[in-house]
Structure 1
Amino acid sequence: MALKNELKTGVLLLALLNGLLFVFILSDAYYLFIGDLPEGIPYSEYLHQGVYTLIFTILLAIAILLYLFRENLNFYSKNQSLKKLAYVWLGLNMVLVLLTLTKNSIYITGTGLTYKRIGVYTYLILTGIGLIFSYIKVSKVKTNWYLFRMNGWAVYVLLVVFSTVNWDRVLTRFNLTYAKSPDLAYLFTLSNSNLSLLKEDIALSRHAFTDNQKKSLAEWELEYLRGEAQKEWQSWNYNDWRLSNELR
C-alpha cells in the first residue's frame, strides 16, 4: 500500500508540474516569437529571468526524478504512467533549454558575444546533457550514482575541450563580424590575443573606433612588441608567435 500511495503521489506531482511548466513555456514562446515584452522590461532582464527560471526548473526536475525513481518504484510493474509523465517532464525542460538558447542567440546577435554569454551556452549544453542522462536513468533503471557520475564526466570533458579555444580571438572576431551593435570598449578589456584583429578592423574602417581607442591600440601594440622582443626562447608559445607575425 505504501508503494501504491507513493506512485499516486508521484503521478499527481508530475502531472501538476507538467501543466505548470507547459503554461510557462507557452507564455515565454509568445513573448519571444509573437508579442512584445511587457513595458519597462529590457531584453537583457528578460533573458536573465529566463536563465534563472531554467536553473531552478532543471534542479527541481533532477531532484524530483532522483527522489521518485529510487529503490522499489524503479521495479514496480505498474509504474508506466509515472515513467511517461517523467518523459514529458524531461521533454518540457528540454524545450525550455531550447527557448533559452534562442533568447541568448538573439541577444548575442544584437549586442555581441561576452564571456558571461558563453557561460550561458556552457550551462545550456550541460543542462541538455544532464536531461539526456536523466532519461537514460529512468528508462534503463540506472542508479542515482550513474547520473552523478555521467554528469561529472560531461562537465570535465566540456571544460577540457573549451580550455583549448582562444576565446578572446573568438569573441573579437564574432563581435566585429556578426554583431549588429558590438561593444567596442569591451574588446579593449580582453587580452593581447585580439590585437591584430582590432588593428585590421581599424585599418578597414569597419567600425567607428574613437581617436582615443585608436591611440590606445597603437600604444598597446608597441608595448606588446617590446615585451616580446625582450623574451627568451623559454617563453615561446604558438599564440604569441602567431600574433607577433600578424602585427608585423
Structure 2
Amino acid sequence: MATGLLTRPPTSEPIPSSAGAPPDDNNAAAPAAEPDSPPAALREVVAVVGTIAGFDLLVYRGHGYAGYAAFFIAAAALLLFGTPKPRPRIGALVVGSMLALLAARMVWLGYGFLNVVGVALLVAFTMTLAGRRAYVLDVVAHGLQSILAGFPALARYGRSSGHVGTVRPRATWLKVVLPLVAVLGFGTIFILANPDIATAVGRSIQRGWDASIDFLRAFSPSVVEVLLWIVVTVVAAGLLRPLFRTHLLEWLAVPSVGAFDEDEPLFDAPLYAAYRNTLIAVVGLFAVYLAFEFTTLWFRDFPEGFYYAGYAHEGAAWLTVALALTTLVLSAIFRGEMLRDPRLPRLRKLAWTWSALNLLLAFSVYNRMFIYIDFNGMTRMRTVGLFGISAVVIGFLLCVWKITRNRDFAWLIERQLWTVSIAGFLLAILPIDPLIHTYNVRRVLVGDLAPSVQITEHAVDSGGVLALQPLLSSDNALIREGIRSLLADRALRLEAKLPVRRATGWTTYQAADELLLKALQARRSDWDEYADLSSRRLAWQKFKNYAYQWY
C-alpha cells in the first residue's frame, strides 16, 4: 500500500460528515479562505523565476537598450501569467500598450530615463491586472510596498511547496527512478565490456564535463549579481501579492453637493464674502494684465535688442505658474461647506469669468512660446515647455469640470497627476530630435537661417542627424560644409562602435544608429572629404561661429 495512506493513525471513532466536520488546521490557515488572498499557485513561482532569469540575461548580462526593452515586455507577460487573481480591465490594456510603445522607443534609440518609466509602468501594470486603477500616488505606494510584501509572499510559496511535497506518494518517484537506475547500471556494464565504445563514451563525457566547467566559469554569478537576484525576487513576489490595496487619496473624497441629503438646510458659509471679494479682485487684475499683454506682445512688433529669452521663455514660465495657481485657488474655494451656500451660483459666475480670462492667459503663454520658436527655431526644452503648458491648461480645465460636476478634491488631484504623467510619458517616448530638426531644416531651406543655431549649440542624436541630411543641398556654403563635417564625424564614430556592438550581441541594437550608419555609408562621397580630423573641426567651427549670431 502507498505510504501516503498511513499518515493518520487508525481510530475507532466514526468519521464525521464533511458538513459537520471541524475545519482542519491547515485548511483554516490556507489563503484560499481569504477572498483577497488566493492560494499560491505554481504559475506565480514560474513568473517570479522567469522574471529573475529575464533580468539576469537581458539586463545584467545584456549590453544595451534592446535587451532592456525585451525585459520589460517579458516581465509584463510573466506578471500577467502569474497574477494570482487576475481581473484585467481597460486599464491593463492601456498600460500594456504604453509598455509596448516604450519598448519600441528603446529599440529605436534608448536613454537612461526610459528605464525609470519602464519600472513605473510595470508596477502600474500589476495593479491594473488586479482590477485596480493606476492612480499615480497608488502606483508609487504599490511599488514601495513590494519590497516588504515580497518576504511574506515568498514564505507562502515555501509553505505551499512543502505542503505539496508531503502529500505526494513516494511511489511516484520510484516509477521514474528505478527504471533510470536499471538502464544506467546495465548500460554502463555493456559499455565497459567494449573497450572502443568505452573510450569514445569516456571522451564524450570528458568533453561534456569540460563544457560544463567552462559554462559555470563564464556564468558564475558575482556577489552583486546574486544580490540583484534577491532584490528582483522580492520585488516580483511583492508585486504579485501586495500587502495592502488602499487608495491613498480616499480621505480626500468628500461627498459632492449632489450627495447631500435633499432635506439638509442650506446655510451661509462664513468665508463666502472673502472668496467673493478675492474672485472680484483677481478678475479685475487679470483683465488689466491681459490688456497690457495684448497691446505689447500679440502684434510681434519688437524693437531692436528685444530680450526674447526673458519675455518668451522665462515670462511664459511665470504665466504658467499663474495658471497653476488659479487651479489651486478655484479648487480651494469650491469645496466643503461652500457647496451648501445658497449664494453659490453668484460665486460660480465670478469663477466662470475668471476661467475665461485664464483661457486668454493660456493663449498668451502659447503666444510667448511661439515668439521664441519663430525667433530661432525649435529645441528640446521648448518642446518640454509646450507640453508643460498644455498639461497646466488641461489641469485647469479639469478644475473647471470639477466645479461644474461637483467632483471632490481627490478626483481632481488624481486626474491632474495623470495629466502630468501622460505628458511626461509622451515626452519620454517621442523622437523629439527628428521632429524638431525636421521643422528647423524646413525653415533653413526656405532662407530663414536662424534655426541653424540649434544644430551647433545643442547635442543632436542619431534620429536628429537623419533629419539634417537635406541641408547638404543648402545654398549657404558655411551651413552646407558644417553639416558635411557633422555627418563625417557621426559616421566615423558609428563605424568605430560597430565591432563592439557586433561582439556584444543583439541587446545593443539601436535602430536609429543602424539606419543612420547605412544612410551615411551609402552617401560616403558627401562627407568623405572631412574624414580628416583637422579639416572636420575647421568646417564645424566656421559653421558654429556663423550660426551663433542667432543664439
Q: TM-score range by the shorter chain?
A: 0.7 to 0.9
User: Which region of structure 1 is more displaced relative to structure 2, 69-78 or 210-219?
Assistant: 210-219
Give yes or no for the alignment of 1:167 onto 2:432. Answer: yes
Partner Cα separation in structure 2 for residue 70 and residue 49 of structure 1: 33
Contact 1:130 1:151 in 2 (8 A): yes
Which residue in the other structure is 2:276 paired with? 11
Deviation of 1:239 after TM superposition, in Å, equals: 2.3
Q: Which amino acid aligns with 1:219?
A: D
Is the alpha carbon distance of 1:41 and 1:212 closer, same or farther for their aligned partners in structure 2, counting shifts above 3 Å? closer
Deviation of 1:25 after TM superposition, in Å, equals: 0.8
Partner Cα separation in structure 1 for residue 416 and residue 384 of structure 2: 17
Deviation of 1:23 after TM superposition, in Å, equals: 0.8
Give yes or no for the alignment of 1:185 onto 2:456. Answer: yes
Give the counterpart of 1:239 among 500, 512, 525. 512
After superposition, the C-alpha distances for 1:135-193 in whole angstroms (9 at most, x for unaligned) are 01111111111111001111222222332211111122111113631113135x22232
Partner Cα separation in structure 2 for residue 106 and residue 33 of structure 1: 9
Deviation of 1:201 after TM superposition, in Å, equals: 1.2
Partner Cα separation in structure 2 for residue 39 and residue 113 of structure 1: 22
Partner Cα separation in structure 2 for residue 149 and residue 135 of structure 1: 15
Is the alpha carbon distance of 1:35 and 1:156 closer, same or farther for their aligned partners in structure 2, counting shifts above 3 Å? closer
Which residue in the other structure is 2:246 paired with? none
Partner Cα separation in structure 1 for residue 400 and residue 485 of structure 2: 55
Partner Cα separation in structure 1 for residue 466 and residue 404 of structure 2: 52
How do 1:38-187 and structure 2 match up within 5 A? 41-178=306-443, 180=448, 181-182=450-451, 183=453, 184-186=455-457
Deviation of 1:22 after TM superposition, in Å, equals: 1.1
Give me the TM-score of the superposition, normalised by structure 2.
0.42
The SS at the match of 2:352 is helix
Is the alpha carbon distance of 1:39 and 1:80 closer, same or farther for their aligned partners in structure 2, counting shifts above 3 Å? farther
Partner Cα separation in structure 2 for residue 41 and residue 109 of structure 1: 14
Which residue in the other structure is 2:181 paired with? none
Partner Cα separation in structure 2 for residue 239 and residue 212 of structure 1: 21
Structure 2 unmatched ranges of 5 or more:
1-266, 523-551
Which residue in the other structure is 2:39 paired with? none
User: Which region of structure 1 is more displaced relative to structure 2, 191-200 or 133-142?
Assistant: 191-200
Q: Which amino acid aligns with 1:119?
A: V
Deviation of 1:211 after TM superposition, in Å, equals: 4.8
Is the alpha carbon distance of 1:35 and 1:162 closer, same or farther for their aligned partners in structure 2, counting shifts above 3 Å? closer
Q: Which amino acid aligns with 1:14?
A: L
Contact 1:15 1:85 in 2 (8 A): yes
Which residue in the other structure is 2:495 paired with? 225
Which residue in the other structure is 1:205 paired with? 474
After superposition, the C-alpha distances for 1:56-89 in whole angstroms (9 at most, x for unaligned) are 3123212211221121112323211111111222
Partner Cα separation in structure 1 for residue 269 and residue 322 of structure 2: 26
The RMSD of aligned alpha carbons is 2.5
Greater CA radius of gyration, 1 or 2?
A: 2
Partner Cα separation in structure 2 for residue 33 and residue 136 of structure 1: 29
After superposition, the C-alpha distances for 1:221-247 in whole angstroms (9 at most, x for unaligned) are 222133235412412233223223322
Structure 1 unmatched ranges of 5 or more:
none
Q: Which amino acid aligns with 1:157?
A: I
Q: Which amino acid aligns with 1:29?
A: F
Q: Which amino acid aligns with 1:160?
A: F
Is the alpha carbon distance of 1:230 and 1:168 closer, same or farther for their aligned partners in structure 2, counting shifts above 3 Å? same
After superposition, the C-alpha distances for 1:43-64 in whole angstroms (9 at most, x for unaligned) are 3211134324313312321221
After superposition, the C-alpha distances for 1:103-162 in whole angstroms (9 at most, x for unaligned) are 212321230111221121011110111111000111111111111100111122222233
User: Which region of structure 1 is more displaced relative to structure 2, 10-19 or 228-237?
Assistant: 228-237
Partner Cα separation in structure 2 for residue 65 and residue 127 of structure 1: 14
Which residue in the other structure is 1:196 paired with? 466
Contact 1:196 1:243 in 2 (8 A): yes
Contact 1:192 1:224 in 2 (8 A): no
Q: Which amino acid aligns with 1:147?
A: L
Contact 2:468 2:483 in 1 (8 A): no
User: Which region of structure 1 is more displaced relative to structure 2, 209-218 or 50-59?
Assistant: 209-218
Is the alpha carbon distance of 1:40 and 1:6 closer, same or farther for their aligned partners in structure 2, counting shifts above 3 Å? farther
Deviation of 1:19 after TM superposition, in Å, equals: 0.7
Contact 1:90 1:135 in 2 (8 A): yes
Partner Cα separation in structure 1 for residue 437 and residue 300 of structure 2: 33
Partner Cα separation in structure 2 for residue 80 and residue 15 of structure 1: 15
Which residue in the other structure is 2:62 paired with? none
Partner Cα separation in structure 2 for residue 19 and residue 38 of structure 1: 29
